Structure 1
C-alpha cells in the first residue's frame, strides 16, 4: 500500500521499519503479512554497482513465504556446487575442495541474483501488500516514549510505532542515536564487483580462489555463460583494477581465474567496496531492534551477510507473531530481550568465522596456512564433517525461523 500525503494526524502503527533495502523490505513484508499494522520508511534508490547476492536456501524459502520469489526466480541462477581453490602460494596447499548440494538433499545451496533486481522485486511486492504503508522519505530520527516511539521524516511528517526496526545500514543513524555500543574495524582491502560474460559454461558451480589478498569469487548467473565477480584485493590493487578499462580488467580476471571459464568480457556495471567490519554489542534498545547491517557488517565471504540479515527479519517476525497472539507489547522488554538473545549469538558466530578466514588469508604464517589447509582436507575427505559444515553454512540447524523452514517456490528449469 503506498503512502498518503494528506494526513492531518500522526499515523500510529505497531511496527515501523526504517530502511528500504532488501532486509528492511523483507522485515516490513513479513510483519504486515502476519496481520501487524506496519509502516516502511525509506526511499527506493538501488545502486547499479555490479553486485549480486547469493540467496541461500533458507532465504529463498523466506522470500517464497512472502510471495516475492516468483518475481525474483526468473533472474536467479542456482548454485549447485561450490569449489574452493587455494591460490595463496603456501607451502601447504590442499587440492581443490568441492561441495555438492545433493549431498545434503538440496536442489541448490542457493540462487544468485542481482541486488538491484532483488530490491526492485521486494519493493513491488511491498506496494501491493495490504496492511503495509509506505512512507517514501528518509528518516530524520526517532524518539522513544513510554508506550511508543515517534519517528521524524525528512519531509516533515511523523510516524508513531510501538516498535521501530532499524534497517538503515552499516552507518545506521538510529543505532548511533540509541547509544548501542559497537565494535568496528577496517581491513586493508576493498572488493571490485562486476558482471562477466565468458565463453565456457559455469555449470552452476561457484568458484572461490583463496589468495593472499583475499577471496576471488566467481558466482554463476542465468544463461550459463555469465557470472558475477567479487575480487577482494588490497586497497591499492583494488583501486588499480577498478581504474582499468573493460578490456584490461577482463583480461586480468581471466588470468586470475586461470582461464577456467574461457575468454572474459565485462557485461555490467562495476563497484568498488571498502572492506570493514562491525558488530553491535546488543541488537536492541528501548523500543528499537537492529536488523541487517545496522547490527553486523563483515566481508563478502561465504554468502553470509545478506542471508544473516534476512534471518534477523524472519526471526523478528516470529517474535512479533507470538507477542500478538499473547497480547503482549511488540516493543516491550520481553520481545527486545528475546530478539537480542537469539540474534546476538548468530551474528557473533558468523562474524567470527568470516573474520578468521579473511585474516588467515592475509598472513603467510605457516601454522595458519597449515590449519586452513587441514580444515579443507578434512571437509573434503570426511563426509559427516563436510555435511555438517554445508548444512550450517546454508541455515543454522537450531533456532531457524519458521518461514525459513517452510517450503518455497523454486526457479523454473
Structure 2
C-alpha cells in the first residue's frame, strides 16, 4: 500500500493543471489516469485571469507562440426574428488590456502540461484507472486498475462527467440536455481576422468564430442534431461554403480543415463540489455548452481555489474538512456561471416574444452604455472584478485614498 498527500484522479486538462499547481505549491501529488490518446482538434479560449495563472505556473511562455489574442469580441444577431438585437462590440483596450484572453489549440496545452508534469519532482504519474474509492475521516483509499492500493489525505476528482470519486463521496448530480449539437472545427480564411472573435446568434444557438495565429480561426457552431449530422457528412469544400455563408463572408473565402467533430449538448452540475477529503474540479463538478468561453476558465478557478486552500505546504496536514470548505468557496461562482450560460442558450432557442425583447434590449443597453459594458467585460475576464471596481467607484474619496 502506498501513501501520498494528494491524489488527482483524471489526466485531462483540468486534472493535469490541478496536479501541477498543487505540486508547485509543495505538496506530494499522484496524478492517476490512463495515458491520453488521439489528436484533439479543439481549441480553448483562456481569459486574462487564466493566462495570469498559467504564467504563475511558468507555462505561458511555452504556450504563447501558438496562441492568438482576443482583442475584440463582437455579437451579431443572425436570426430572422421580428425582434433582433443590434450588433455589440467589446474591446479589451477599454479595460486597459492587450487582449481579453487567448485562443489556444488543446493539443498545445496538453503537450506543454505533459512536459511540465514529467519534469516536476513532486508529481508521481500512475498510468492506470481508479476502480474504487473509499473515503474515511483520515484518508481516501483508492484501488487502482493495476491492483495497487493507494491512500491519500485528499483526493481530487478531475475524472469527468462519470466521476468515480464523486460517486464514492455520495454526491448526486443534476443533468439536463439541449435539443442541440455543436460542430467544432478549424478553418483557414482569405482575410485577416484582426484578432476579432465574432459570435453570430442564430435560432439554433451561437455560431462562434475565434481567432488562431495567422489566417486561421476555430469555430463552434451550435445547430440541431439533424443539421449537425448533415454538416458532418458534407465534403470539406461544401462544408467550407456553408461556414462562409453563415458568417456572411466577413473573412472572405473559407477552407475548413479535416478533423471536424460533433458533440451533443448537455449540462451537468454536482449538488456539492466537495465533501470531507474529496474535492471535485472540472467536468466532475460542472459541465455546460461551449458558450462564452466559460467552461475551462471555470475549471481553472476550481484549481486556483483548491491550491489556495491546501497549497504552500509548510509541513501542515491537510484538514479533514477540505472538501467542505472547497464546496463553500466554489458554489457562488459555479452556480452563477452555469445559470448564466444556460439562460443565454435558452434565450436563443426561445420564440417567446418577451424573451426576445429582453435579449435584444439587453444587448442594446450594453452597446449604448459604456460603464455597463465595462462592468460586464470585467466580470467576464475575472469574476468579481467588475463588482469590486463598482464598489470602489462608489466609495467616498477619503476611503479610496486610505485603501
Q: Please report the TM-score for the alignment, with normalisation by the length of structure 2.
A: 0.93
Q: Comparing 87-96 with 382-391, which one deviates more in the overlay?
A: 87-96
Pick one of 318, 326, 336 that aligns with 1:330. 318
Pick one of 338, 345, 367 that aligns with 2:354. 367
Q: Are residues 399 and 321 of structure 1, via their aligned partners in 2, closer, same or farther at CA, if it must alter by over 3 Å? A: farther
Q: Are residues 331 and 41 of structure 1, via their aligned partners in 2, closer, same or farther at CA, if it must alter by over 3 Å? A: farther
How many angstroms apart in 2 are the aligned matches of 1:207 and 1:101?
14
How many angstroms apart in 2 are the aligned matches of 1:319 and 1:70?
27
Pick one of 362, 371, 386 that aligns with 1:384. 371
Note if contact 1:17-1:41 (Cα within 8 Å) is conserved in structure 2.
yes
Q: 1:87 Cα shift?
A: 1.1
Q: Are residues 309 and 399 of structure 1, via their aligned partners in 2, closer, same or farther at CA, if it must alter by over 3 Å? A: farther
Q: 1:398 Cα shift?
A: 5.7
Q: Comparing 48-57 with 244-253, which one deviates more in the overlay?
A: 48-57
How many angstroms apart in 2 are the aligned matches of 1:245 and 1:49?
21
Deviation >2 Å, runs of 4+: 46-50, 324-327, 397-400
How many angstroms apart in 2 are the aligned matches of 1:140 and 1:255?
49
Paired position in structure 2 for 1:409 = none
Q: 1:141 Cα shift?
A: 2.2
What is the root-mean-square deviation in Å for CA atoms of aligned residues? 1.6
Q: 1:376 Cα shift?
A: 0.6
Aligned partner of residue 311 in structure 2, secondary structure:
helix
Aligned partner of residue 147 in structure 1, secondary structure:
coil
1:340 and 2:327 correspond: yes
Q: Please report the TM-score for the alignment, with normalisation by the length of structure 1.
A: 0.91
Paired position in structure 1 for 2:276 = 286
Paired position in structure 2 for 1:247 = 237
Note if contact 1:82-1:99 (Cα within 8 Å) is conserved in structure 2.
yes
Structure 2 gaps of 5+ residues are 388-403
Q: 1:268 Cα shift?
A: 4.1
1:123 and 2:142 correspond: no
How many angstroms apart in 2 are the aligned matches of 1:164 and 1:337?
13
Structure 1 gaps of 5+ residues are 1-9, 401-413
Deviation sequence 1:330-371 (CA, Å, 0-9, x none): 2511x2222111111111100000000000111111111110
1:137 and 2:137 correspond: no
Q: 1:156 Cα shift?
A: 1.8
Note if contact 2:277-2:323 (Cα within 8 Å) is conserved in structure 1.
yes
Identify which of structures 1 and 2 has the higher relative contact order when contacts are C-alpha pairs closer than 8 Å and 6+ apart.
Answer: 1
Aligned partner of residue 98 in structure 1, secondary structure:
strand
1:13-412 → structure 2 map (5 Å cutoff): 13-223=4-214, 225-321=215-311, 324-325=313-314, 327=316, 329-333=317-321, 335-397=322-384
How many angstroms apart in 2 are the aligned matches of 1:46 and 1:347?
29
